[in-house]
Structure 1
Amino acid sequence: MHDIPELGFLRLTQVLGVIPVGKTCWWEGVRSGRYPKPVKLSARCTAWRVEDIRELINTLSDQAPSH
């Protein structure tokens, strides 16, 4: 699925490679609860759990209109 690993973490650039939104839109979605919250791996390293991103992809694809 979408060239992302089974387990682990994704950095923002990787997330935006599979979820087609801009950086500002992504952060607004995180703040509003639409997108998953990140995990701080260190003081300067923020990432998202792969499982959370896979779940988001499934949710978004279920909401997409079918033709």
Structure 2
Amino acid sequence: MRVLHFAGFHWMKMSIDTPAGCARRYDARARRAELAVNASAVLSAGGLLRQPELLALIPLSASTLWAHIRAGEFPPPVKIGKRAVAWRATAIRDYIAHLGNP
């Protein structure tokens, strides 16, 4: 695999036997599946969920998630650092239960 540099952009030239983008799509799907399994374990045991884990459980985009938080329709995050937030598993469990029983 070669990396081509042009005007600040990086393109990965895949080998001939690999269709372009297949490896990256597979990696992204595998990562999402891994995050969903980890998030399910945290959700059942309690604890904190980071945004990628949360988005693996709830079918929303990041921008839609933040729009729901601003509108008060989704549990707000907890600050765990200067630039890091997470959601309490109990709040997410309650939100999912509320979706099932409106």
**Normalising by structure 1, what TM-score?**
0.84
Q: State the structure with more CA Rg.
A: 2
Contact 1:39 1:47 in 2 (8 A): yes
1:45 positional shift: 1.3
Once superposed, which parts of structure 1, at least 4 consecutive aligned residues long, lie more than 4 Å away? none
**1:3 and 2:40 aligned:** yes
Contact 1:4 1:50 in 2 (8 A): no
With a CA cutoff of 8 Å and minimum separation of 6, indicate the structure with the bigger relative contact order: 1
Q: Aligned match of 1:16 in 51, 55, 59?
A: 55
- The aligned length equals 62
Unaligned segments of structure 1, at least 5 residues:
none
Alignment identity in percent?
Answer: 34
Root-mean-square deviation over aligned CA pairs: 1.3
User: Residues 32, 4 of structure 1: CA spacing in aligned structure 2 closer, same or farther, 3 A cutoff?
Assistant: farther
Q: Aligned match of 2:85 in 43, 46, 50?
A: 46
Unaligned segments of structure 2, at least 5 residues:
1-38
**Normalising by structure 2, what TM-score?**
0.57
1:4 positional shift: 3.5
